[in-house]
Chains A and B, each alone.
Chain A
Amino acid sequence: MKKKVLICVCLSISQVFGIGYYPPAGARALSMGGSGLMLADVFSPANNCALMTEMKKPGIGFSFTNRYALKDVNQVAICAVLPFKKIAYGFKLLSDGNNILSDRTIGFSFAHATSKQSGFGIGANYHHYNIRTYGRASVITIEFSLVANITNKLSSSFFVFNPFAARFKDCPGEHLQRTFRMGLLYKINKKISVVCEAEKSRTFRTNIKLACQYQLNPKFHFCIGFSSLQPQCTFGIGFKHKHYTIAYASSLMQAAGSSNNLSFIYEIGK
């Protein structure tokens, strides 16, 4: 019973925040309507592990999100990527909530570029939920994704989180939801790219995310996006200097207000 309540609370939080069941990490993903599926950056272990092979250099990223001016539902994400020629390893640590209600995830992922055009990624995660009044629950999940670079301008990706609907220990019949995501990225030119992503999990309606990124120059980028689950508009800006990148994202949802995110990325090597 306790765990059912716990799961219900987790679900309702996701619904209220309009983020779906697989929240994105990093300011750039958040500023693009939450469509992290097609973004290759340090936060790929949390957004789409297959894209880690597109990283040229190892890096580590830190992201902090404040939702609707409520400090109790802040999110912190730490991700790292170690790419080699055709393979890449990733790590993620996500933490939501406070000491009353929290959701913590630690995950490792692996990606392999099978050819210039395609690649896949797999990841394993350990989730730990805690509600002070009711108790704790933990579960291990896996995720799998495919990416295809159809042309120089067009890419597609498919991602499934928790395909076997992992169950909570000691709580038969209760399991984490499967989540399916599909996306397309189209590079209009060197500076402008557009993204379309669809996400579906058991409890939520199909979430359609549309976004556009404008790379003003190698140092600055701007993003805008829209997410349909709980209609919200997003906006973001990023600045890169040498090994460091700092990015800010903001979203506005009519029902609940605005959220803000700040990310730092450090890339190692030239």
Chain B
Amino acid sequence: MRSANRALIICLYLLMGPMAVTAQDSELEIAKETLEKYVENTESNSDYTDLSEQLEYLVRHPINLNMAVQEELSRISQLTPEHIQALLLHRQLYGKLTSIYELQVIAGFEPDFILTIKPYINILENLELSDLNYQSFRKNYHHEVAYLSQRRLEKSVGYKLPDSDRNAFRGSPYRHVVRYKASMGKNLSFGFNTEKDDGENLRNSFFSSYLQFLSTGKIRQLLIGDFQAAFGQGLCFGSGLTFGKSAFVLDVMRRQNGLRPNRAMNENEFLRGGGFIYKISAGIHLTAFYSLKKIDATTSEDSMNESRFTGLLNTGNYRNLPELSKKGILKRRIAGSNIEFKSGKLQIGLTMVHTKYGSEQSLDEKKSYQLYNNHVSAIQNYGTDYKLFHKNLLFFGEAAMNQDLKSFSFINGVIASLDKNFDISLLYRNYSMYYIPSITNAFGETQDNHNEKGLYMACSFTPIKNYKLNAYADIYHFNWLRYQVDAPSRGSDMMLELQFTKRRLFSWYVRYRNEQKQKNEAGTQIINRLELNRRQLLRFHLEIKINTSMTLKSRIEHVWYQRQFGKTLNGMLMLQDLQVQVFKNVKLLSRLMFFDVEDYNSRVYAFENDVMYSFSVPAFQNRGTRFYLLVKYKMNKNIHLCFRFARTSYENTESSGSGQDKINSNKTTDTSIQLLWAL
């Protein structure tokens, strides 16, 4: 009976296969498209290299669908508990999959959906980690080097100041980046990144490197150099970039656990030292790490002439004397450990982190909002996290605290597939105002992960074929004052999106977002009272794949920003993308955009294609047009060349930027060239 079912299934997918999944797109390209969709839906311009690397890692080390347990499958963000449950049931009934196309017979695995997860899965026996030896080193050696040079053609004020001026930029206006990474199969990898920012002297370049061993023995991972560490939901400890609220409304659970090399170019937001993962027994792993790093900070001296830091900086710019004076002046030591228990459907982790700064933080008594901020030099964080699968439900959460009970903070969530067409997620967080985080990246309205409580609810509904409705609502409250908020405050955030997708050839979505948040009333008042600020966004986005070589994207977006005691400010954007594969090895990506924004608060964001492994989501204000052209040239199998030219012309201002970055021109022109060599 079982073999008969198997035969039927194989026949089915052989019949359906050709119309469905095509292997034309390279898997890395699909993964990059996925990341682009994530980035496209964010409204911040960060260094997304880290996330790009994580996806690339998943592509190079796909999850074996025949072997993976629930927890491993949940690392693929597109898989809902319903998918996981259906896959496991299928495996239980019919045995191992013989091809990934067999997934089409499982409920919920539509051809388009399989295409999106295809880069991260396989059904082959995973190649086991092997012993290190020269032969295998030569055989599996893979390396990649990328060089990027960028320059803004218009010089800012900082370059025009005389050398005697403290604020004069000390270096050339070029930005140079070199990335190198090498790996030997799964066992060994090594890499370094170096960056000279525009305006910086070559001596102040950033350098970061790592060496990583992976093995099947007792020591599962050994990582030396610069790295990121994250455990549970990132409340006790979590470094590295994560996405918060986005159009991927169900994706609120943190999926990264453990150590990973740092590949981002941010000078401050990583750990420097080493760590390892030790297998105590089957299902029990111990992770320990230590980091000693000098970070940028602002300092002041107290009445006893003792130096205290007043704030941490993460701009990573060292272009003039004032910026150089803040470079690496604060030592930060972090030691941490995590023990993880995995048993069937349950995973539990315990984390302990000790953070010590070189000096105590200075507390400005006038700034009441800092009352509960960190002003001690040493912080202890303890946390416990869990993940539990139960039928179509995935529960997750974490609790964390410092040494005292009143700092107890927690986050709990559930992702549930109520029907094959209807998924929901719920998440409640309560971060105490007494909680002093070390480095965290847990879900929240703010990145501080303290002084916040809120409830997030989301649903994703497919009412009819090709249509999808995504919605979320987040209601939150801050128990204590915040920067520019002189009283306990509240806010809410709501999004509604209707998507239409037809065989990856044509798609559109309409999105409405409404954010309300309390802030001090604008202007100088004797006693600041709070006013409710509302920001609404309406976007229509259209994407058409004319044929295999041409894609058009259009977008129109309007933003309204309304103060409770003020007038409404408007921002609008209209853009058209044209992407053409001119020749087999040359691709052109271009954009023409118009924006008209009244004020910074009504600014608009737009994702932009950039050179390889680079993403940008700049914010636009004032009124003007922007044009960019990106040329990707594949010289041969191993060498890629990219060139990008972007120009913004402002119509209602004769300058842009501020301070030393001010450009006395109504145009800004950015050029980039990148060479990538992979072997």
Q: Which residues of A sit under 8 angstroms from B485, Cβ to Cβ?
A: none
Spot the interface stretch: A29-37, A89-97, A146-154, A259-267. A146-154
Cβ–Cβ contact A115 & B558, under 8 A: no
By a CB distance below 8 angstroms, the chain B residues around A108 are none
User: CA separation between A205 and B623, bound complex, in Å?
Assistant: 12
Known contacts: A146-B552, A200-B594, A202-B651. The answer to whether A182 contacts B574 by CB under 8 A is: yes
Contact A180 B574 (CB under 8 A): yes
Kindly identify which residue among A114, A150, A202 contacts B623, using a CB–CB cutoff of 8 Å: A202
Q: Which residues of A contact B554 (CB under 8 A)?
A: 156, 158, 182
Q: Give the distance to chain B from A104, nearest Cβ to Cβ, in Å.
A: 25
Residues of A within 8 A of B544 (CB): 148, 150, 156
The answer to whether A198 and B556 have CB atoms under 8 Å apart is yes
Contact of A115 among B546, B572, B623, B627 (CB under 8 A): B546
CA distance A118 to B547 in the complex (A): 9
| Complexed CA–CA distance, A184 and B544 (Å) | 12
Q: Any chain B CB within 8 A of the CB of A27?
A: no
Give chain B interface residues in 535-568, CB to chain A under 8 Å. Answer: 542, 544, 546-547, 550, 552, 554, 556, 558
Complex interface: chain B residues within 8 A of A245 (CB): none
Q: CA–CA, A206 to B560, complex, Å?
A: 13
Asked whether, in the complex, the Cβ of B547 is within 8 Å of the Cβ of A200, the reply is no
Interface string of A133-159 (1 = CB under 8 A from B): 000000000000010101100001010
CB within 8 Å of A: which B601-640 residues: 623, 625, 627
> Does residue B578 face the partner (Cβ distance < 8 Å to A)?
yes
Q: Is there a chain A Cβ closer than 8 Å to B190's Cβ?
A: no
A114 to B544, CA, bound (A): 15
Q: Is B656 in contact with chain A by the CB < 8 A criterion?
A: no
Residues 96-125 of chain A, each 1 if its beta carbon lies under 8 Å from chain B, else 0: 000000000000000000110110000000
For A156, list chain B residues within 8 Å (CB).
542, 544, 552, 554
Asked if residues B546 and A118 are in contact (CB atoms below 8 Å), the reply is yes
B586 within 8 A of A: no
A180 touches B594 (CB 8 A): yes
Contact: B552 with A118, CB < 8 Å? yes
Q: Do B550 and A114 touch across chains, with their CB atoms under 8 A apart? A: yes
Among A151, A180, A205, A206, the one with the most B-chain Cβ atoms within 10 Å of its Cβ is A180
Contacts of A165 in B (CB 8 A): 625, 649, 651
B299 to chain A, nearest CB (A): 47
User: Which residue of chain B has the shortest Cβ distance to A154 in the bound complex?
Assistant: B506
CA distance A156 to B541 in the complex (A): 12
| B596 contacts chain A at the CB level, 8 A cutoff | yes
CA distance A258 to B185 in the complex (A): 76
The one of A117, A146, A178 in contact with B625, judged by C-beta atoms closer than 8 angstroms, is A178
Q: Does A223 count as interface, using CB distance less than 8 angstroms? A: no
- Cα–Cα distance between A148 and B543 once the two chains are bound (Å): 10
Interface size counted on chain A using CB atoms at 8 A:
22
Tell me whether B552 and A148 are in contact (CB under 8 A).
yes
A171-202 near B? 1/0 per residue, CB < 8 Å: 00000001010101000000000000010101
B85 CB within 8 Å of chain A: no
Count how many chain B residues have C-beta atoms less than 8 Å from C-beta atoms of the other chain. 24
Residue of A nearest to B580 (CB): A114
A208 to B594, CA, bound (A): 16
Cβ < 8 Å to B, chain A residues 199-214: 200, 202, 205-206
Return the chain A residue nearest B592 by Cβ. Answer: A160
Asked if A23 CB lies within 8 Å of chain B CBs, one says no
- Please state if B651 and A117 are interface contacts (CB–CB under 8 Å): no
Q: B651, A118: Cβ atoms under 8 Å? A: no
**Given known A-B contacts A156-B542, A202-B623, A151 and B506 have beta carbons under 8 A apart:** yes
| B interface majority secondary structure | strand
Is A231 interfacial (CB 8 A cutoff)?
Answer: no
- Distance A114 CA – B570 CA, assembled complex (angstroms): 38
Please measure, in the bound complex, the distance between the C-alpha atom of A198 and the C-alpha atom of B546, giving whole angstroms: 22
Contacts of B651 in A (CB 8 A): 165, 202
- Report B136-176 CB contacts with A as 1/0, cut-off 8 Å: 00000000000000000000000000000000000000000
| Contact of B576 with A182 in the complex, beta carbons under 8 Å | yes
Q: How far is the CB of B577 from chain A (nearest CB, A)?
A: 9
Whether A198 touches B574, Cβ cut-off 8 Å, given contacts A115-B547, A156-B542, A182-B554, is: yes
Q: Which residues of B contact A200 (CB under 8 A)?
A: 572, 574, 594, 596
Take A150-B544, A158-B576 as given contacts and tell me if A178 and B556 are in contact as well, using a CB distance cutoff of 8 Å. no
B574, B578, B596, B623: which contacts A146 (Cβ < 8 A)?
B578
B576 CB, min distance to chain A CBs, angstroms: 4
Q: How far is the CA of A135 from the CA of B574 in the complex (A)?
A: 35
A206 CA / B578 CA spacing, docked (Å): 23
B576: chain A residues within 8 A (beta carbon)? 146, 158, 160, 180, 182
Given contacts A156-B542, A202-B623, contact A118 B592 (CB under 8 A): no
What are the residues of chain B within 8 A of A148 when measuring CB–CB?
Answer: 544, 546, 552
Nearest B residue to A201 via CB reads B594
Residues of A within 8 A of B547 (CB): 115, 117
Asked if B546 contacts A117 (CB within 8 A), the reply is yes
| Residues of chain A contacted by B627 (CB below 8 angstroms) | 163
- In the assembly, what is the distance between CA of A158 and CA of B554, in Å? 8
Chain B nearest CB from A250 CB (Å) reads 29
Closest B residue, CB atoms, query A181: B574
Question: Which of A118, A146, A158, A205 has the most chain B CB atoms inside 10 A of its CB?
Answer: A158
Contact among B506, B556, B572, B594 for A150, CB-based, below 8 A: B506
Q: How far is the CB of A145 from chain B (nearest CB, A)?
A: 10
Q: Name B555's closest neighbour in chain A (CB-CB).
A: A182
Residues of B contacting A151 in the complex (Cβ-Cβ under 8 angstroms) = 506
Most buried by A among B542, B546, B592, B623: B546
**Footprint of A on B, CB under 8 Å?**
506, 542, 544, 546-547, 550, 552, 554, 556, 558, 570, 572, 574, 576, 578, 592, 594, 596, 623, 625, 627, 649, 651-652
Residues of A within 8 A of B (CB): 114-115, 117-118, 146, 148, 150-151, 156, 158, 160, 163, 165, 178, 180, 182, 184, 198, 200, 202, 205-206
Can you list 23 A-B pairs with a CB-CB distance of less than 8 A?
A115-B546, A115-B550, A117-B546, A146-B576, A148-B544, A148-B546, A150-B506, A156-B542, A156-B552, A156-B554, A158-B552, A160-B592, A163-B625, A163-B627, A165-B625, A178-B625, A180-B574, A182-B576, A198-B574, A200-B572, A200-B596, A206-B572, A206-B574
Known: A150-B544, A202-B651. 8 other contacts (CB 8 A): A117-B547, A118-B546, A151-B506, A158-B554, A163-B592, A165-B649, A182-B556, A206-B574
Give the top 9 A-B pairs by smallest Cβ distance, nearest first: A158-B576, A180-B594, A118-B546, A180-B574, A148-B544, A117-B546, A150-B506, A198-B556, A150-B544
